[in-house]
Amino acid sequence: MKIDVREGDSFWYYSQLFNIPLQLIIDSNPDVSTQQLMVGTAINIPGFIKRPHTVDPGDTLWSIATHRRIALDALLLLNPDINPRKLKEGMTIDLPYKVTKPVVNGKQSYDFSTMVRDIKRLMALYPFIRQQSVGRSVEGKSLYELRVGQGSQVVHVNGSFHAREWISTPIIMAFLNDYLLALTNRETIRGLSMAPFYDNKTLSALPMVNPDGVDLVIHGLPQNSEYREHILEMNNGSTDFSQWKANIRGVDLNNQYPANWDIEADRKPNHPASANYPGPQPLSEPESQSLAQLTDDSSFERVIAFHTQGEVIYWGYLEYEPPETESIAQEFARVSNYEPDQNVDSHAGYKDWFEMKWQRPGFTIELGSGTSPLSLNQYEEIYQESLGVFLANLYL
C-alpha cells in the first residue's frame, strides 16, 4: 500500500500509526531518505492493501474509523482529497486493510507460472523482500532468489532440483509467506518472535532450481520446445513424465557439482536420461552454474537443499563438514522427527560441493515418505515437519 508523505511525518510516525515494525517500513523504501521525508513522496507501507468502501447514510470518517477499528489519521492519509466534513452517501473512500492471511496456496500443482505469480504478490505486499534473477534455465525461465532480513549471516534454502520433487517449492514459498505475515503482524510462529531473526539473519531462498523439469512433470510435453523429440526419446516414447527428475536436456542437476563428480559419472548413465545422468562435465547446465555462482558470490553460512522423499537429513560429506554440523543436524531432527544420516554413498551433489569447497554446514533434507512425486495429501504434514527446520535455520 502506498501513501503520500505529509509535512512533518516520519517513518517512525507511520510505524506507530500502522503498527508495523519501523525497520520493515525503512527497508520497504530503500530509495527514500530516513533523515527527512519529502512532502508528496509516495512510500510503501508493507503488509497493507487499500480496499474501497462505499459511504453509507450518516457515515462520518470518525464513525467509519471507530466501526472498522482504524486510526482516523490513517483514513485521512489514504483519502487526502476528501473533505472529512462533507462525506456524501454513495461516495467511495479507501480503507487500509492489514493482510493477515497467506496468499500462497501450496495445496495445488505448483508450476513455474504459479510460483512467479506468488512471488509478484509477495513483492507487492512486502516490498522489503529483495528479489533477483540469478540466471535462466535451459528454456529461458528465470531462476529467482528471494532474500528476507538484514543479518550479516546469510542462510540459504532451495528446492526442486529434481523435477518430480516439485512439492518442495510450495513448501518453501509457504514458509516465506508465513514468515512475512508474522513479521508485519508482530506475531509468533510456534511461540517464537520473528523480529530478532529478521535483524540477525538473512534468509536466501531459491524455490525452484529446475523450472523446465517441473513444468514437464506437471504439464507434460511442451509444444514448442526444441528438445521435444529428444525428451520423448529419453522417456522411452512415453508421454507420462511423472517420474522425470532431470532438467529439460536430461541432466540430473544434483549430480552436477565438482565434488568427486567423476565417481558419479563412472557409475551413472553416460547419456542424457530422465534421471541420474550427471552431464558431460561438472556444471555443464545453466541451472547448476547459476546456483554455484550465487553460492560463490554470497558466502552462505549454511545451505539446505530440500528434496523428497524419505524423512532423512543428510548432513556430512567425507568429513569436510565442520564439527557444528552434527549438532545442527540433531536440532533439525528434533524439530522435524526426521532421521539424521551423516554418510551416504553419493557424490557431486550441491550439499557435497558446498561442504567440500566451503567447509561449512550443508544439508540435504528428504521431505515426506512414499514415492515421488508425493501426493498433495501429504502437503500439510510435510509443511508442519519442515516448519521446525525453517525456524531452526534462523535461530541457530
User: Is the separation of the CB atoms in 134 and 145 below 8 Å?
Assistant: yes
Find the helix packing angle between 112-125 and 211-219, rounded to 10°: 120
Q: How far apart are CA 50 and CA 148, in angstroms?
A: 24
Q: In angstroms, rounded to a whole number, what is the distance separating the alpha carbons of residues 111 and 117?
A: 10
Q: What is the DSSP letter of 89?
A: T
Distances (CA, A) of 381 to 124, 180, 384: 29, 21, 5
Share of the chain residues as helix, strand and coil, in percent rounded to the nearest 5: 40, 20, 45
Using a 10 angstrom Cβ sphere, with 0-12 exposed, 13-18 middle and 19 or more buried, the burial of residue 69 is: exposed
The CA-based dihedral angle spanning residues 317, 309, 284, 302, taken in that order and rounded to the nearest 10 degrees:
-50
**pLDDT of the residue at 78:** 95
| Other Cβ atoms within 10 Å of 375 Cβ, number | 10
Beta strands (DSSP E) in the chain are 2-4, 42-44, 48-54, 92-98, 130-136, 142-148, 153-159, 188-189, 192-193, 201-206, 302-308, 312-314, 339-341, 362-367
- CA count, 13 A, side-chain hemisphere, 381: 11
In this prediction the pTM is: 0.97
Positions of CATH 3.10.350.10 in the chain: 2-98
Do 208 and 157 meet the contact criterion of CB atoms below 8 Å apart?
A: no
**Nearest alpha carbon to residue 374 among 313, 304, 315, 311:** 311
Nearest to 392 by CA among 369, 368, 358, 363: 363
Q: What is the pLDDT of residue 69?
A: 93
Helix (H, G, I), strand (E, B) or coil at 326: helix
CATH 3.40.630.10, the chain: domain bounds: 112-213+281-395
CA distance 75 to 148: 30
Q: Given the C-alpha cell 539424521, which residue does it identify? A: 340
**Quick one: 140 exposed, middle or buried, by C-beta within 10 A (0-12, 13-18, 19+)?**
exposed
C-alpha cell at 152: 550479516
112-213+281-395 fold: Aminopeptidase (3.40.630)
- What pLDDT is recorded for position 36? 82
Phi-psi region of 174 (alpha: psi -120 to 50; beta: other; left: phi over 0): alpha
The CATH code that applies to domain 2-98 is: 3.10.350.10
Mean pLDDT by 10 residues, the chain (396 residues): 95 97 97 90 97 94 93 94 90 96 97 98 98 98 98 98 98 98 98 97 98 98 93 96 98 98 97 98 98 98 98 98 98 98 96 98 98 96 98 98
Classify residue 115 by burial, with Cβ atoms within 10 Å: 0-12, 13-18, 19+.
buried
Contact 10/35 with Cβ under 8 angstroms?
A: no
| First-last CA distance in the chain | 34
Q: Please say whether the dihedral angle defined by the alpha carbons of residues 383, 385, 389 and 391, taken in this order, is positive or negative.
A: positive
